[in-house]
Amino acid sequence: MKVIQIKPSELDAGLEKLESACRLIGPVKEKSYHLFKTLEPDQKPDLAYINTRLSAKSVLYPQSEVMFEFSLDKNDDQYAILKEPEKDRTPRAVIGIRPCDADAYEVCRRNFDTEEYKDPYWLKNYEATTLVGLACSNPCPTCFCTSAGSGPFSDRNLDILLVDNGDGYLARIITDKGEKLAASAGWNTEAGSDAEAAIEKKCGEAESKIKSSVAADNLEKHSLIDLYEAESAIWEPEGFACINCGTCTYACPTCWCFDVQDETYGKSGVRMRNWDSCMYPLFSLHASGHNPRDTKIARVRQRFMHKLKYYVDKYEKGIQCTGCGRCVRLCPVSIDIRRVCNKMNSYDPETCRCEVASG
Amino acid sequence: MQNPYLPYPVRIDDITVETEDKSLKTFKFVFLKPGDEEKFAYRAGQFAELSIAGLGEIPIGIASSPTEKGFVKFTVFKTGKVTSHLHAMKEGDIMGVRGPMGNSYPWDLLEGKNVVIIGGGFAFTTLRSSIVYMLHPENRSKFNDIHVIYGARSPGMLLYKEELMAWAERDDINMHITVDGTDDPEWKYHKGFVPAITEQEAPPGDADTYAIVCGPPIMIKFTQPVLDKLGYGHDQIIMSLENRMKCGVGICGHCNIGKELVCKDGPVFTLDQLNKTPKEY
């Protein structure tokens, strides 16, 4: 893999060149918080950001998205026939995505891209996107990526990794997509032979700053039903304070559930999908009125069991979490996935106890 | 890339009111586009999403049999927004069908076996599909004894009544039709709840006998001890689940029970499988 040196002025010049070749998406500050947005002409991504409040999942998977359009005009020969609308699938590049959010795409891909069914909306966006990641040199106290299958310099799901070296960036070119993007940006100054060593050194420094972690090594070994039935040790104390607000699911880069709703406007309509949340009673409510998850405790259990047990057992690729820490920072009642994970991991069904105290 | 969320356009070809309270209607659909019927090749026990533009989709078991060609049938209970609208639709109206979805009853496993079908109320739709499939001249020899225990509140609430009566006259299927009660002096079938009739009429469980059980939760609750008593192993009791669903293809995340998705890994599970799964259905 080659490493390129990009000076601050070259970064801006390169982004200007890229503007004509593709759509640029990056972190920008709006009011108090950063979020990912398509950059306006001449707008630059704010690469001094720590992380966005909402994750980058919306880049591939908008919070609301039209799936189909239809006519409700009975005189129309296409009356009530659903049609997939034309969508912009032109190339786009995300500049400055954090490695945890890029690794979350790989987690989501297991859901959207299966052997039997492929979600065309997510996948076509994914294929059209080049990911230029930004390594984290100053992780937050709530970050635990290193124990959640990611890391501050993780580049497994990136096309280019940018590393701030004080005087511009070192750019590790990882894939052909990344190579092409660097070429069209005119980033071609090969860095010296010590560049890889410099990146590794910075990576080690960043990793050593991450003090929080989850233990997940026993999750696969535990019986699913034992963990599910750990009401008194885990689910009741953890769910007690939950207000089912759903903030965790909206902020999470790996929460992928969606609802489908039809909307009509006069004689036309759309079928759209919207992010949904397992925190809400309606998520599992039957038409008969019966609700299989009719308590908040059951819904809190669903979220954590999905991320930390069902997913683990189904895919055998670790936990459905990349350690970004957003849910920890944003939960209004301080439910902490790290504590829940450590409880699940240390649960002893014989004694019905965990080694971690309730927070 | 094929879009798994896109329904096949269909026309309502026929509507039959099934029950005396008019809460159940059977809709017969024909595909508008040539080739779509072939793409919709299904097995008994699978389901589909019925789609009405402007209202949404509902997951419904397929009531027709793969041996019936030229159409596909669904029996729908009027209960929510989409089903209420569907009940008001007319022959000739255009809507959509998306599927088939789910895993079906285990037909390979059931070949050469005795099959005992136990159904109650309006959960008889995929069971009708199964019976029509097994009784088809090409298939009947693949199965040994077939028993059907089917009950409803009253004679007027039985689905597919004419077919039931016709099957009762045949000698290659053992029909045990029952109602909770009736004051009809002409009623010549059973009276009593499904679990009781099962105890009376179902063959004892052995390695070559499988029970397919579909019905309201209360029926299932009281039928299971009967099947235990008759000696049915939990891997020989086959059930079909329902859960709130949206996509039907295992992606939207709504219908999970533990790590299984009812839409894709089910809806058919053995009791043995369900014993290892959270009871979130």
Q: Does B3 touch chain A (CB under 8 A)?
A: yes
B203 Cα to chain A: minimum distance (Å): 33
Q: Does B90 touch chain A (CB under 8 A)?
A: no
> Residue A87: CB partners within 8 Å, gap ≥ 6?
A121, A124
Q: What is the C-alpha separation between A145 and B50, in angstroms, rounded? A: 43
Q: What is the pLDDT along chain A (359 residues), one digit of tens a residue?
A: 799 999 988 999 999 999 988 999 999 999 999 999 999 988 999 999 999 999 999 999 999 999 999 999 999 999 999 999 999 999 999 999 999 999 999 999 999 999 999 999 999 999 999 999 999 999 999 999 999 999 999 999 999 999 999 889 999 999 999 999 999 999 999 998 999 999 999 999 999 999 999 999 999 999 999 999 999 999 999 999 999 999 999 999 999 999 999 999 999 999 999 999 999 999 999 999 999 999 999 999 999 999 999 999 999 999 999 999 999 999 999 999 999 999 999 999 999 999 876 54
Q: What is the mean pLDDT of chain B?
A: 96
The hierarchical CATH code for the domain B8-101 is 2.40.30.10
Write down the residue that tokens 């944003």 correspond to: A330
A260 Cα to chain B: minimum distance (Å): 6
B107-240 belongs to CATH 3.40.50.300: no
Chain A residues within an 8 Å CB radius of B4? 117-119
Find how far residue B161's CA is from the centre of its chain. Answer: 15
The answer to whether the CB atoms of B249 and A117 lie below 8 A apart is yes
Q: What is the C-alpha separation between B31 and B33, in angstroms, rounded? A: 6
Q: Does A266 touch chain B (CB under 8 A)?
A: no
Portions of chain B given CATH number 3.40.50.80: 107-240
The answer to whether the CB atoms of B4 and A286 lie below 8 A apart is no
Please state whether the predicted TM-score (pTM) of the whole model is above 0.80: yes
Chains A and B: how many Cβ contacts under 8 Å? 130
Portions of chain B given CATH number 2.40.30.10: 8-101
- Quick one: B187 exposed, middle or buried, by C-beta within 10 A (0-12, 13-18, 19+)? middle
Helix runs in chain B, H state only:
36-39, 81-87, 107-110, 125-135, 161-168, 194-201, 217-230, 271-275
B8 Cα to chain A: minimum distance (Å): 9
Q: Does A265 touch chain B (CB under 8 A)?
A: no
Do the Cβ atoms of B33 and B49 come closer than 8 Å? no
User: Would you list the domain boundaries of chain A?
Assistant: 2-55+88-209, 224-346
Burial code (b: 16+ CB inside 10 Å, e: under 16) for A230-267 equals beebbbebbbeebeeebbbbbbbbbbbbbbbebeeeee
Chain A residues within an 8 Å CB radius of B250? 114, 116-117
DSSP label at residue B7: P
Q: What is the C-alpha separation between B260 and B281, in angstroms, rounded? A: 12
Q: Does B187 touch chain A (CB under 8 A)?
A: no
The answer to whether the CB atoms of A82 and B6 lie below 8 A apart is yes
Pick from B190, B197, B189: which is nearest to B223 by CA? B197
A77 Cα to chain B: minimum distance (Å): 11
